């Protein structure tokens, strides 16, 4: 379990650092003409590091198992969460997000997505990922640790992302925050 947690912390640190705008610019300058492939490299490195995290605890104990129809319902809800996650990702520039096409430049690149999934909650990708993780009907020690660590990572990541988006979009993002809850549908900030 300790090896799993250490590897998760290494993964989350590298994943986060590579997403910092200043680091992206610095690495982009080092890459030169290969800069357009930064996002693809970022995703491949993240995938390799995550695979290493998951291989750290090969035989975790089973904490609980939900049998029968309830287990099937959990799997169906996981499929629904994954499908909705894909739908939310498709609202963005998916090929650019995956790194298989360069990121758009100019005004299109700096538009704040406020409709669809992003009109319901500001961070649907994090909420849906936690829902997917939490609904696993076969909860092992590794899966539970992944769920807890990922939830903490997503909350911290969302907080940092919000600070960056406030700098980038200013009042437009402030209004968006007032009208759209952060993680849970229906929970709006009062006042403001």
Query: Residue 110 is part of a domain; what is its CATH number?
Result: 1.20.120.1630
Same domain flag for 122 and 186? yes
Q: What residues does 64 pair with on adjacent strands?
A: 139
- Where in the sequence is the domain holding 51, given as residue range(s)? 1-58
Which pLDDT belongs to residue 188? 60
Same domain flag for 81 and 174? yes
Same domain flag for 83 and 163? yes
Which pLDDT belongs to residue 107? 42
The three state secondary structure string of 104-139 is CCHHHCCCCCCCHHHHCCCCHHHHHHHHHHHCCCEE
Same domain flag for 52 and 65? no
Asked whether the beta carbons of 35 and 93 are under 8 A apart, the reply is no
Same domain flag for 31 and 85? no
Looking at 21, 38, 58, which one is the last position of a domain? Answer: 58
Same domain flag for 53 and 70? no
Asked whether the beta carbons of 103 and 39 are under 8 A apart, the reply is yes
Give the count of domains, the chain: 2
pLDDT tens-digit profile of 138-163? 999 999 999 999 999 999 999 999 99
Same domain flag for 41 and 97? no
Phi/psi for 138 (5° steps) reads -110, 95
Which pLDDT belongs to residue 187? 65
Same domain flag for 14 and 101? no
Name every residue whose Cβ is closer than 8 Å to that of residue 22 and which is 6 or more positions away in sequence.
Answer: none
Same domain flag for 145 and 95? yes
Same domain flag for 92 and 138? yes
Which pLDDT belongs to residue 104? 55
Which residues in the chain come in under a pLDDT of 70? 96, 102-110, 187-192
């Amino acid at each position: 379990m300790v090896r799993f947690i250490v590897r998760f912390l290494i993964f989350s640190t590298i994943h986060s650092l590579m997403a910092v705008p200043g680091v992206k610019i610095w690495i982009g300058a080092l890459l030169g003409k290969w800069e357009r492939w930064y996002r693809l490299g970022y995703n491949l490195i993240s995938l390799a590091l995550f695979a290493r995290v998951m291989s750290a605890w090969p035989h975790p104990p089973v904490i609980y198992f939900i049998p029968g129809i309830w287990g099937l319902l959990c799997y169906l809800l996981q499929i629904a969460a994954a499908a909705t996650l894909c739908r939310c990702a498709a609202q963005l520039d998916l090929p650019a997000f995956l790194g298989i096409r360069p990121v758009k430049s100019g005004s299109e690149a700096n538009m704040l997505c406020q409709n669809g999934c992003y009109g319901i909650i500001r961070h649907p990708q994090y909420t849906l990922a936690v829902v997917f993780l939490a609904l696993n009907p076969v909860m092992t020690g590794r899966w539970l640790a992944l769920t807890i660590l990922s939830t903490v990572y997503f909350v911290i990541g969302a907080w940092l992302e919000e600070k960056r988006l406030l700098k980038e979009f200013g009042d437009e993002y402030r209004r968006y925050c007032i009208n759209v809850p952060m993680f849970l549908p229906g929970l709006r900030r009062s006042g403001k």
